Amino acid sequence: MSDQQAYEFDYMAQEGEMDHSIDEMDEENSGSDEVFDEYKMDQWIFEFEQHTKVSDTSSSQARKGKDIQGIPWDRLNITREKYRLTRLEQYRNYENIPLSGEAVDKECKQMEKGDNYYEFFHNTRLVKPTILHFQKHAGRLLEGFSQTQISTLAVKDNFMVVGGFRGELICKHTSISPDRRLVAVVGDHIDGQLVDSQSGKTVASVFGHLDYSFGSAWHPDGRTFSTGNQDKTCRVWDIRNLSGPGRNLKGNLGTARSIRFSADGHFMVVAEPADFVHIYSTKVDYKKRQEIDFFGEISGVSLSPDDESLYIGVCDQIYGSLLQYN
């Protein structure tokens, strides 16, 4: 079973049956002046939609064995465990620097998993994310700070866009420290920068990633920040010693795209491009983690202001939804 086939599950097979049935109806009515019964057609479509409809999943249903995404594994010709292995083997992480992920696999081991900080609460179909989080490639890290005469600048949701007098467009991923003094800046370069928010001058650079970075986030203590990279790692840095990352945390499939610290600083949430979200305990120096395992591209993750809920957006044609953990 190929990756794409498994992703679509039995949906396309059912859709093919629908197309075949429609073809048969066309043949039966070809050359006839009789108008096709629209009521029967509407009823047939309704029954088809009911048959293929994927419902919400509650925590009580999940405890009774229902898949949290409503995937009918008992009706498929592959088990969940086998499909997970297939995904791990076939998924191809996007890289700008070839083999950066393989190099990390050789030098870095994953932290112990098995802890349970957040429990599944609900999966709703009312929210269907349609935007995949992917990196813009426009300029290198140093461009826009030393070679471009800036004419306009905008920052929103940790994404900075700079326009130059000669038509340049530079995009960076940023996050600002809790005291508003330092800005972590990463982008299409293996190194990152800490920039003084008042003067705009680079006060330090961080080295260690093997590919281009995707995002950053600050711990509430103001001393620690993290960077996510296409080398499949999230690296944790301490501004008091930037000679190297304090922690080098490896994912399963690909880029560490979204990073969030809880407001109390006890947890760090890291989302991969698909299938996996990791929750690290900062109280044990990131050495233990919870692994949330599902199927589908991840459009983003977010914690509620009180840290009580974790939300995961899943972008998928069939199983797109919003997962909630409490």
The pLDDT of residue 154 is: 74
Give pLDDT tens digits for 109-120: 899 999 999 999
The pLDDT of residue 105 is: 84
Rg of the chain over Cα atoms, rounded to whole angstroms, equals 24
d(CA 9, CA 77) in angstroms, rounded, equals 9
Spans of the chain, pLDDT less than 70: 1-54, 131-148, 157, 159, 172
The pLDDT of residue 250 is: 95
> Please, are residues 132 and 315 in contact by the beta-carbon 8 Å criterion?
yes
Tokens encoding 91? 């998924």
Backbone angles phi, psi at 9, to 5 degrees: 50, -135
CA 309 → CA 6, 70, 78, 192, 289, distances in Å? 30, 21, 32, 31, 17
> Please, are residues 271 and 258 in contact by the beta-carbon 8 Å criterion?
yes
Using the structure block, give the residue that is written with the tokens 């296409």. 230
Give pLDDT tens digits for 12-47: 434 444 344 334 434 444 444 444 455 555 555 455
Domain residue ranges of the chain, discontinuous segments joined by +: 1-25+36-53, 100-325
d(CA 5, CA 240) in angstroms, rounded, equals 49
Percent residues over pLDDT 70 in the chain: 76
Sign of CA dihedral 105, 7, 1, 70: positive
Show the CA angle centred on residue 205, arms to residues 160 and 190, nearest 5°: 70
The pLDDT of residue 32 is: 41
Q: Ramachandran region of residue 268, left (φ > 0), alpha (ψ -120 to 50) or beta?
A: beta
Whether domain 100-325 has CATH 2.130.10.10: the reply is: yes
> β-strand 182-186 against 192-196: which pairing, if any?
antiparallel
The pLDDT of residue 7 is: 44
Global pTM reads 0.77
